[in-house]
Amino acid sequence: MMQMLTMQTGAALASRSDWTVLRPLLAQSVVQTLQMVLVTIVIGGALGLVLGVILYGTRPGNLFENRVVYRILDILVNIIRPIPFIIFLAAMQPLTIKVVGTSIGTTAAIFPMVVMCTFATSRLVEQNLVPVDHGVIEAARAMGASKLTIIRTVLIPEALAPLILAYAFLFIGVLDMSAMAGYIGGGGLGNFAIAYGYQKFDQTVTWTAVIIMIVLVQVVQAIANAIAKRLLRR
Amino acid sequence: MTQTSEPIIVFDHVSKEFRQRGSKQSTRAVDDVSLSIGAGDIFGIIGYSGAGKSTLVRMINALEQPTSGLVTVLGERVSAMGESKLRPVRQKIGMIFQQFNLFSSKTVAQNVAYPLKLDHWRKDYQDKRVAELLEFVGLSDHANKYPSQLSGGQKQRVGIARALATNPKILLADEATSALDPETTSEVLDLLKRVNEQFGITIVLITHQMNVVQQIANRVAVMSAGRVVEQGDVYDLFAAPKQEVTKRFITTAMDGLPDPARVETMHEQWPGRLVTVVIRQRDITDAAGATLVPASGQNISELIARYGVHSSLLYGGIDTVQGVAIGAVTYEFSGDDAHIGSFLTQLAQDSDIVDFGTRADPVDYAQAVARAQLAVPAEGADADGEVHTLANDVEMLEQVDDVVEMNPEDEQSENKECA
């Protein structure tokens, strides 16, 4: 809290192009963004993987076929995913307070991000597992592999390249979410661009933040492409 | 030849019904099948697409459970086992597939090692076994390649190596050569034969290609509309098919008998008496040793010489089934009518013949064939004179396959039409 107050005081004092003041703020924003995005991707990505495998597995005709579970999860994902994140952020406030203890700040922003990321990931994971050839799953069953072993050693490895691309896609979505964290005092590059660029009519500041985001996205996408390409060359 | 030893796989009045989505109706994919497969057999199960043979074979390793009846494999009643209890049984049953089903994310060596990993082999034993298997299938140089870098035949050989990894007693081959060209098919079949001979592994082979059965199987069951309509030794079935569907499979594998269009062309070219002689190198006997169908065409050369008839060999096809010659050859005999008549009477005593008459006095095709009571192209010729072959039947069936899969009910009627 204290930190945030000093940050805003500092901003008020800064003149249009006073980068000596802006530079540390920018650095801090980058750190906050990376922190939110990475924590969200790791936790939400992992939970989403589990939920996605459950969605896939309970689909009619699949390993753990269960119409009831599939229907419930399917509807739940369909309800949560289309909610605009900024509204979701507000709607989650009571739950965020219960879980995190506060509803403002970077940590408070991470919680709804993780929840949204989990549901988004689950759908992407499910969709990328569906095209895996049922023949290889049958082959593994015929060899005596258990269902969980099949998921771990056949299903996920077979879909790994598209899954990695899906996570890169997700990274962009999470970065997008993190930009709205500013509304609940979460800081980050989005907040930096709005507070010091847009609201102060300084396009240079806005575009600095935009370019950093573009670079981040490009780097992540390039790494994902390279890994996927290596996997797909098989 | 009949080496039916101790049964290793027994189906006892097995039926399998599939319930259709959203309806109470169900379809019988397998209908009251009782079948016994002996240890060491190469047992062919032949039938058109959707005849139920895939479902039947999947009940051996319990990928499918029967709706009723018992399946006993290696002394274990697999038709009532839970997944976890099935695991050790499944490790004794290898399986290969039409689409190979190799793991595309794993190298050739990793594919072959997969069942060993499941069986918790020590890493150095795994490596040794993988090397051994790859050598057996002739792919030692390809250990570190990925499946996508291999040809179809190579992929199937990896499939075979993988299926053999845990020293199974039984190998299930589900249309294992259907996606391969004829030459590669032969290579893979030779390999399967080696598997059978060297390791004594019982092979159950599903196919819609009669020549596959002919090439390596010693016993065969013919399936149609979920039922086993005929079964026995491969040679017996080839030489004396009883069921219409069996006859159709066989005529496609052996085209020694000319089709009507061919007979017509031959009449145009050759004025003399056209006679097809069925060749069967030996008698077909039942279990008790009584002759069911006698040998045929064994003294043809001798008779031609003795009667001194002028003969031209025009058409024919002879193949060996389990090392025994079987087929048909068509001659033109010319000369004095009465002389040829007595020659043919003599010939017919020890052989099955089809007499198509002369150009001046031809015998109707259907009549000629009916008189000889042979396995013939069932519905005769199509309008364009083309014989109704298995190849175009299968093509036809496969065109409607997608529809069939969505609506298994139709599948059954499809088959009844074939049968």
* Alpha-carbon distance B87 to nearest alpha carbon in chain A (angstroms): 4
Check if B73 contacts A (Cβ < 8 Å).
no
Q: Is residue A99 part of a domain?
A: yes
Q: Give yes or no for B120 touching A (CB within 8 A).
A: no
Query: B256-372: which CATH number, 3.30.70.260, 3.40.50.280, 3.40.630.10, 3.20.20.10?
Result: 3.30.70.260
Whether A28 maps to a domain, the answer reads no
Instruction: Say yes or no: A139 contacts chain B, CB-CB below 8 A.
Output: yes
Please judge whether B114 and A157 are an interchain contact, meaning their C-beta atoms are less than 8 angstroms apart: no
Are B344 and B302 in contact by the 8 Å Cβ rule? The answer is no
Residue B231 in contact with residue B36, Cβ under 8 Å? no
Residue A143 is nearest to which of B83, B84, B114, comparing CB atoms?
B114
In a domain? residue A225: no
Query: A205 lies in a domain?
Result: no
Asked if B95 reaches chain A (Cβ–Cβ under 8 Å), the answer is yes
CATH of the domain at A151: 1.10.3720.10
Give the span between the Cα atoms of A154 and B293, in whole angstroms: 53
Q: Do the beta carbons of residue B226 and residue B13 sit within 8 Å?
A: no
For chain B positions 122-181, those within 8 Å of chain A (CB to CB) are 146-148, 162, 166, 172
Report in angstroms the alpha-carbon separations of A164 from A59, A119, A134, B112.
22, 17, 21, 26
Question: Quick check: B265 contacting A, CB < 8 Å?
Answer: no
| b/e burial code for range A147-173 (CB count within 10 A of at least 16 → b) | bebbbebbbbbbbbbbbbbbbbebbeb
Q: Is B61 at the interface with chain A, CB within 8 A?
A: yes
Distance CA B195, CA A131 (A): 34
What is the 8-class DSSP label of residue A194? I
The radius of gyration of chain B from alpha carbons, rounded to an integer in Å, stands at 24
C-alpha A39/C-alpha B148 separation (Å) is 37
Q: Bridge partners of B77? A: B72
In tens digits, chain B (419 residues) has pLDDT values of 444 468 999 999 999 998 776 667 788 899 999 999 999 999 999 988 888 999 999 999 999 999 999 999 999 999 888 888 898 999 999 999 999 999 999 999 999 999 999 999 999 999 999 999 999 999 999 999 999 999 999 999 999 999 999 999 999 999 999 989 988 999 999 999 999 999 999 999 999 888 888 889 999 999 988 999 999 988 888 777 777 777 777 765 555 778 888 888 899 888 999 998 888 888 877 667 777 777 888 888 888 888 888 888 888 888 777 777 888 889 999 888 888 888 988 888 888 888 899 988 888 887 787 776 554 433 333 333 333 333 333 333 333 333 333 333 333 333 333 33
Residue A128 lies in a domain: yes
Alpha-carbon distance B42 to B341, whole Å? 45
Residue type, B382: D
Strand B324-334 relative to strand B273-280, pairing = antiparallel
State whether B105 and A143 contact (CB < 8 Å).
Answer: no
Q: Where in chain B is the domain with CATH 3.30.70.260?
A: 256-372
Chain A positions in Cβ-Cβ contact with residue B102 (cut-off 8 Å):
136, 139
CATH classification code of B7-245: 3.40.50.300
pLDDT digits (tens, 9 = 90+) for A79-90: 999 999 999 999
Dihedral angle of Cα A150, A151, A157, A160, to the nearest 10 degrees: 160
Distance from C-alpha of B119 to C-alpha of B121, rounded to nearest angstrom = 6
Domain count, chain A: 1
Taking the Cβ of residue A143 and every Cβ of chain B, the question of whether any pair is shorter than 8 Å is answered with yes
Q: What is the arrangement of strands in the sheet containing B219-224, beginning at the earlier edge strand?
A: B93-97, B170-174, B202-207, B42-46, B219-224, B227-233
Domain carrying residue A70: 35-187
Q: What is d(CA B108, CA B305) in angstroms, rounded to the nearest whole number?
A: 60
Has residue A218 been placed in a domain? Answer: no
Model ipTM value: 0.83
Count of beta carbons in the 10 Å neighbourhood of residue B338? 8
CA distances (Å), origin A76, targets A60, A73, A83, B44: 18, 5, 12, 50
Where does chain B hold its CATH 3.40.50.300 domain(s)?
A: 7-245
Q: Rounded to an integer, what distance in angstroms lies between the CA atom of residue B312 and that of residue B273?
A: 10
Query: How far apart (Å, rounded) are the C-alpha atoms in residues B1 and B165?
Result: 30
